Structure 1
Amino acid sequence: MTLPRYVSTLLLCAGAVACDGSAGYNHHTGGGDDPDPPPPTLPGAVAPAPAKFSCDAKAVPADLPLPRLSRTQLMNSLRFAVGRALPKDADALWTKLAPDLARYPADRRTPAPGDLKGGFSRLDQSIQQTQIDVMYDLGKVVAQELTSTDTRRNTLLGACASDSQTANDRACLETFIRGWGSRVLRYPLPTQEVTAFADIAGTTPVDRASVADVITTVLNSPWFLYRIEHGTTAGQAAAPLSAFELASKLSYQLWQAPPDDALWAAATDGSLMTEDGFNTQLDRMMKSPQLRNSMDEFVNEWLRLDELPSLIALRNDPVYQAFVGAEMPTDATRTAMFEDVQLSAYNTIVSGGSVSDFLHDPKSYTADPFLAGIYGVPTWNGTGPAPVIPSKTRGGLVTRAAMLATGTASTRPIHKGYMVRNALLCQQVGAPPPNASDRPPAPTDRMTTRQAVSQLTSGGSCGGCHNNTINPPGFVLEGFDALGRERSVERLFNPQGKETAAPSVDTSADVLLYDSESRAISSAVDLSRMIDESQLFESCVAQHYFRFAHARVESTSGDGCLLSEMESVARSGAPMADLLKTVARHPTFKKRSFQ
């Protein structure tokens, strides 16, 4: 069953917290030009959790049999194909294609086994008939647009397509296939394949309809729709990738798109196969703005940002109106909340900050006036230093508005507690019982949110899990309302939107992280420190990024060596960028396993 954003009113634990962390703690090296000093540790700081992953050098990691391009990657590849064919018309043509592009089905985000929510769209490797049908239609539409006029056809094929000679028509078409087709299919087409594609045009190689048929076929080739890897050594269980296979793997990993000219050139001249050449390309790609193409998707899906409902759906509800106040947020504010988190991660990476720095990042990254007002900062234009949020009660990531807003007047502490456990600590919580309500506890005109949640979840079979695992992190975050604004009281309303009371907010809770590591805290800052000191967050980021990078759920045995290395990097205080580089530099990245 698909659970709503707030998970469920009742979550029945299958057992104790089940996610361990890692040892090897080196807290906060900072990064960038203006690194922030590490926050002071709590009295009786939480001890780093044990390492979650270990390396068995004899284990053989698995590979996806035939990696299908995700929807995002496929759309970027299609746009690349259009851009290489008709650079000057590409933007206008792409806009014209929008209705057909929208028909391609979205990938499904399937949670990992044992998780109730989450998952990455890259993990959807299913093949649907709808995908095949729509891609065929897209190939036809793109081909027809690229050849819609003699001028466009001539741009594709060159002057030989319109001269008075016919003897050179076949060679004209083959030159186009060898150039454009190789880049679109991401490997140098051998003569026999160029011939096979050209044969589709029959006896009229430069006829516009014939050229369109060739383009349609190229865009529906398995080499276009999948990331095919044969390796360079036949008959072995694990074979090194070719230069062009490696270029594609690296490009789709970091940019969600086909190799650019520089990466293609490095594959062509062989430099990509050398350690220095590979590192040169990796460093270049990590510094490119195109890195955001993958990082935004990773952060959005890891933290489930787009599960936040509309902030204006309840704009006519009297309680929501009274809660929000004079100025209603907009749909643009919701988008800005997502971008605030995404830009925090991206700027941490490009500035040299660590995973820990991302968790504690105190800056605001928004041009939206409403969100900037929540943070008490000026809007940011995207250049220069981002403004620092002045509040001393915010705790970095866990108190960004996207993590706190609910689209209602209620704060949903159950959802927030589950988010901390599952998305930030990689701890699993058992499924709710069959009779669990799908309506979250809400405050009344006389009862606070915390009181309503406690009344409904503290007893019976639900109490053990809610009291010890789910509710406490959510209660600590009650110092922020359902828009992410700081508060010391909770305003209660009757159904007509009249304020009936404003009791003080109770943010105290005993938070158990793992084993016996429990602390009585009362602020989001303390919660962030606990999470960081345990190093569970660092281990969890490594685990989530592995899934995103490999488009599959990890095997703790087969993938233990890479996971252990990623975990160590994340916990060491090294730049967060090194976590991404660790994946690309690992020996398994440059090989294809056929076991």
Structure 2
Amino acid sequence: MPRLSRTQLANTLRFAIARALPSEADAIWTEIAPVFARYPKDQRTPAPGDLKGGYSRMDQSIQQSQVDVMYDLGTAVARELTGSDARRNALLGSCASDAQTANDRTCLETFIRGWGSRALRYPLPAAEVTAFADIAGATPVDRAAVADVITALLNSPWFLYRVEHGTNASQSVSPLSAFELASRLSYQFWQVPPDDELWAAAVNGSLLTESGFATQLDRMLKSPQLQGSLNEFVNEWLRLEELPSLVALRNDPVYQAFVGAEMPTDAVRTAMFEDVQRSAWQTVVSGGSVSDFLNDRRSYTGDPFLAALYGVPVWSGSGPAPTMPSKNRTGLLTRAALLATGTASTRPIHKGYLVRNALLCQQVGAPPPNAADMAPAPTATMTTRQVVTQLTSGGSCGGCHNATINPPGFVLEGFDALGRERDVERLFDPKGLVTGTPSVDTEAEMRVYDAERRVVSSTAELTKILDDSQLFESCVARNYFRFAQARVESSERDGCLLSEMEAAARSGAPMAEMLKTLAQHPTFKQRSFQ
């Protein structure tokens, strides 16, 4: 019984409102948005042993504040949907406003059976329709009474959770019903309730057939609605939100001198995120592979600042995206979202950990408790690499940093803390005056597997090592599994599925095949309490 994520809940509320009053849906959402803003944000839950990362879908906790806000949301939506006789009549039809009262109960039950079933995502049986209608008492079409019914529907466990009983509740593993399968598909790939076509496939039973399921799955993976879910996956997998504001230090003399004449805005920060997300989306819709995503050198930004940083024209959003001209812009590793830091320091430790943990799925030992107190930054006389090496090469730190964390971060020193390409590092005194411009050293001994050591000096070589190892492809599959299933994998329970997803990612097949593999596996169509 997975709880809807905050994103899924927002989408589900908007779906319910739009089905009730489509022409007024946007206006009603604007009215209730302040109430929804109080709903607690899901906390990203990392896998055991990971120091960062994780997915908000994995937060399945329930707090009193969530219950309270959901009740307020239910009453707010109900109040809006019944805010006038005209709105009430649009919900229930002419039977709510005619001179007869004998048909009022039937009028309300018809609304519950129709709108309520779609909001709760399963056909309401007669007994439940009766139970909800009874809430209205003796005045079935009175606006306040109808509002009470809507409030109850929107606070049902069936609305807040994806309830899955399966078709044989006596078994620990049971096939999903058609409606449960429809919801699993729609929330997995679109983060919304089933649309009309998917609902119809559940109603007529075709969704439970092999061909019917394949038809719906293909349709969903080709739909623009997939992009929102893919964006959330990419954002959380690559930890894009860890990039601080690009203007927080705008009054700092060193940051001012580092940035130069034009200060980036937080709109640029957003554009950096979108650039990565659109790369993933374009890879999927164009039939590209996971490897193609890693190596994609096209720019997908319409932001002038970011486009200038890449040395390309702004992209209109349609047609071929411009290719970054520098041979050192080798794809994912060199996108500004993964390079910028919001400071004048490049943070090679952070980038090295990102490569190891998020891109290769390699766990790294936990830092000492006081590590955050020693954040390395260049000085007026020492480069970032020199400071990091001095701070981390000895004692208990050296084992992890020298061989594992620092090398990929050092290779990426060919780009500054805004993501601009560089050959030298400008050093500043506290007043922002340049004190030196030493050459940047990007050479490092890189190990992907413990027994394999290679000297790497460019992002092209680093990207190739990641790609050739195929650990990147396997890691994407593993992370997508965690995002999709809202849990960490179990080798015993999930080994076969994960192996199939990794094989699809590593085969060079379209990236969409990896997404499809998860849904095609028999376990996707089952409810399990094991």
TM-score band, normalised by shorter chain? over 0.9
Match in the other structure for 1:245 = 180
Distance 1:404 1:411 in 2: 7
Match in the other structure for 2:148 = 213
Match in the other structure for 1:314 = 249
Match in the other structure for 2:235 = 300
Q: Quick check: 1:275 aligned with 2:210?
A: yes
Match in the other structure for 1:165 = 100
Structure 1, residues 72-96: CA drift from partner, whole Å, max 9, x if none? 1111000100000000000011111
Structure 1: which amino acid aligns with 2:331? Answer: G
Distance 1:350 1:274 in 2: 26
Task: Give the deviation of 1:234 after TM superposition.
Answer: 3.2
Structure 1, residues 67-118: CA drift from partner, whole Å, max 9, x if none? 1111111110001000000000000111111110100000011111000000
Distance 1:261 1:352 in 2: 27
Distance 2:373 2:30 in 1: 40
What's the secondary structure of 2:248's corresponding residue? coil
1:123 to 47, 55, 58: 58
Distance 2:258 2:171 in 1: 65
Q: Quick check: 1:505 aligned with 2:505?
A: no
Q: Quick check: 1:77 aligned with 2:12?
A: yes
1:410 to 322, 345, 365: 345
Match in the other structure for 1:188 = 123
What's the secondary structure of 2:183's corresponding residue? helix
2:390 to 455, 459, 466: 455
1:360 to 282, 295, 315: 295
Structure 1: which amino acid aligns with 2:368? Answer: P
Match in the other structure for 1:200 = 135
Q: Is the CA contact (8 Å cut-off) linking 1:272 and 1:281 kept in structure 2?
A: yes
What's the secondary structure of 1:500's corresponding residue? strand
Structure 2: which amino acid aligns with 1:316? Answer: N
Structure 2: which amino acid aligns with 1:564? Answer: S
Distance 1:583 1:308 in 2: 31
Distance 1:542 1:266 in 2: 29
Structure 2: which amino acid aligns with 1:122? Answer: R
Structure 1 residue runs of 4 or more that deviate by more than 2 Å after TM superposition: 434-439
Structure 2: which amino acid aligns with 1:294? Answer: S
Match in the other structure for 2:429 = 494
Task: Please give the residue correspondences for 1:39-78 in structure 2 after superposition, counting only pairs within 5 Å.
Answer: 66-78=1-13
Distance 2:420 2:133 in 1: 63
Task: Give the deviation of 1:393 after TM superposition.
Answer: 0.8
Distance 2:484 2:45 in 1: 15
Structure 1, residues 330-369: CA drift from partner, whole Å, max 9, x if none? 1100000000001101110111000000000010010000
TM-score normalised per structure 2: 0.99
Structure 2: which amino acid aligns with 1:591? Answer: Q
Structure 1, residues 145-203: CA drift from partner, whole Å, max 9, x if none? 10010000000000110111000000000110011000000011111111110000000
Match in the other structure for 1:43 = none
Match in the other structure for 1:425 = 360
Task: Give the deviation of 1:436 after TM superposition.
Answer: 2.5
2:46 to 111, 114, 118: 111
When structure 1 is superposed on structure 2, of 264-273 and 209-218 the one drifting more is 264-273
Structure 2: 5+ residue stretches without partners = none
Structure 1: which amino acid aligns with 2:203? Answer: T
Task: Give the deviation of 1:434 after TM superposition.
Answer: 2.3
Q: Quick check: 1:231 aligned with 2:172?
A: no
Distance 1:70 1:449 in 2: 40
Distance 1:462 1:244 in 2: 53
Distance 1:128 1:438 in 2: 33
Match in the other structure for 1:259 = 194
Task: Give the deviation of 1:439 after TM superposition.
Answer: 3.9
Match in the other structure for 2:23 = 88
Structure 1, residues 201-232: CA drift from partner, whole Å, max 9, x if none? 00000000000000000000000000001111
Task: Please give the residue correspondences for 1:146-157 in structure 2 after superposition, counting only pairs within 5 Å.
Answer: 146-157=81-92
Task: Give the deviation of 1:463 after TM superposition.
Answer: 1.0
Distance 1:370 1:160 in 2: 58
2:418 to 465, 483, 493: 483
Q: Quick check: 1:386 aligned with 2:386?
A: no
1:99 to 24, 34, 40: 34
Distance 1:437 1:81 in 2: 46
Structure 1: which amino acid aligns with 2:350? Answer: H
Distance 1:207 1:184 in 2: 21
Structure 1: 5+ residue stretches without partners = 1-65
What's the secondary structure of 1:511's corresponding residue? strand
Distance 1:198 1:434 in 2: 58
Match in the other structure for 2:272 = 337
Distance 1:461 1:185 in 2: 55
Match in the other structure for 2:461 = 526
Structure 1: which amino acid aligns with 2:6? Answer: R
Task: Please give the residue correspondences for 1:458-469 in structure 2 after superposition, counting only pairs within 5 Å.
Answer: 458-469=393-404
Distance 1:437 1:217 in 2: 48
What's the secondary structure of 1:578's corresponding residue? helix
Q: Is the CA contact (8 Å cut-off) linking 1:511 and 1:519 kept in structure 2?
A: yes
Q: Quick check: 1:515 aligned with 2:450?
A: yes
Structure 2: which amino acid aligns with 1:307? Answer: E
Task: Give the deviation of 1:266 after TM superposition.
Answer: 0.8
C-alpha RMSD of matched pairs (Å) = 0.7
Match in the other structure for 1:573 = 508
Higher helix share: 2
Structure 1: which amino acid aligns with 2:505? Answer: A
What's the secondary structure of 2:366's corresponding residue? coil
Identity of aligned residues (%): 77
Distance 1:81 1:73 in 2: 12
Distance 1:576 1:295 in 2: 11
Task: Please give the residue correspondences for 1:576-591 in structure 2 after superposition, counting only pairs within 5 Å.
Answer: 576-591=511-526
Task: Give the deviation of 1:581 after TM superposition.
Answer: 0.3
Task: Give the deviation of 1:590 after TM superposition.
Answer: 0.4
